[in-house]
Structure 1
Amino acid sequence: MQVQFQVRGRGALRWLTFGMITIGSLSLVTGLIFAGVSVSFLTDAERAPGTVVALDWQGDHGGGTRKARGDDTPAAYPVVEFTSADGTPRKFRDSAGSNPPSYAVGEKVEVLYRPGSPEDARIKGFLSLWLMPLIFGGIGLLFMGIGTVIALVSRRRP
């Protein structure tokens, strides 16, 4: 019975290792895709001065699990006005929110937008451009690292 248990244990360990490395690889690839989107956006983007005209406070951050844990602290998403190259005034809500707010009402910011679709605009800032690539890439590296360590340690055992 002892031998049979060890065989099952090694099989489970292999599946755990495979799962960790697979999830890590998929997450890392997703992070790289988000990074590529940000780089592409930066390459094509026009720049314009903008002003934060409001803060849109949102309590649900999209996951829905924060309220279940009792943590429904709202995040402030800056609403920015700018004028595109064609002279049209535009307004957008940035995709990155934070608490405490990263921007104040009345603050001047640099806006990046695609010339062909000025409604696709972002504040030129770290959170707006690099948060998603860093989250997915970091999770990917963590899971791949854990999976690799498990694989290396399990190979050393007789």
Structure 2
Amino acid sequence: MRGWGARRWITFGLVAFGTLFTVIGVILAGVSISFLTDAERAKGTVVSLEWRTDHSGSSRKTRGNDGPVAYPVVEFTSADGKPRTFESSMGSNPPSYDQGERVDVLYRADSPEDARIDGFVSLWLLPLIFGGIGLIIIGAGTVVALVGRRRS
């Protein structure tokens, strides 16, 4: 009886934790979808790369590298004709963009300072990471439950 109870708690913990991660992934995907439905498009230029060793805003590090990470600083002109500048929240090493590179920019018309580079990583990386990890953990909980049920 002792092993059965432990497996039950492990199964519950894995499924609950996996569900939490999956829900976070779905919420983040919803935020990206909401942003895309309201977003205006503009052409921008990477004007500089902001190198930081502080990875607190970084969502990824390449090959376990603890060196500096480059965050592209992009300039674009919003629909009201004003030049705008923003620093991407996604950094990488090696840099994903070169200085002077033209990029597509998405921004909210009512809040042009809320801008992102139109790319897969900036829009979908976090939802995929959270959702994917959540589904893997739910799968592990399901396997534990099925193995426990077969042994009973």
Same-fold call, TM cutoff 0.5: yes
The letter of the residue matching 1:74 is P
What is the CA–CA distance in structure 2 between the aligned matches of 1:122 and 1:71, rounded to whole Å?
25
Q: Deviations over 1:91-145 (max 9, x none)?
A: 1011111111110000000100000000000000011100110110111011001
Q: Any residues of structure 2 matched to 1:1-158 within 5 Å, and which?
A: 7-62=1-56, 72-158=66-152
Superposed CA offset, 1:16-42 (max 9, x none)? 110100010010010001001111111
Q: Is the 8 A contact 1:60 1:72 kept in 2?
A: no
**What amino acid does structure 2 have at the position aligned with 1:19?**
G
TM-score (norm 2): 0.91
2-structure distance, mates of 1:99, 1:111: 21
CA distance in 2, matches of 1:126, 1:71: 22
Q: Normalising to structure 1: TM-score of the pair?
A: 0.88
1:150 Cα deviation after fit: 0.5
2: distance between equivalents of 1:85 and 1:22? 45
Distance in 1 (CA, whole Å) between partners of 2:73 and 2:45 is 8
* Cα distance in 2, alignment partners of residues 12 and 58 from structure 1: 45
Which structure has the larger Rg over C-alpha atoms?
1
Instruction: Output the CA distance in 1 between the equivalents of 2:138 and 2:68.
Output: 32
Asked if the contact 1:77/1:94 (under 8 Å) is kept, the reply is yes
Per-residue CA shift, 1:44-73, capped at 9, x if unaligned?
A: 10001100011112223228xxxxxx9522
Could you tell me how far apart the structure 2 residues matched to 1:12 and 1:79 are? Answer: 51
Structure 1 unaligned spans of 5+ = 1-6, 64-69
Distance 2:76 2:23 in 1: 34
RMSD: 1.4
Q: Which runs of 4+ in 1 moved over 6 A?
A: none
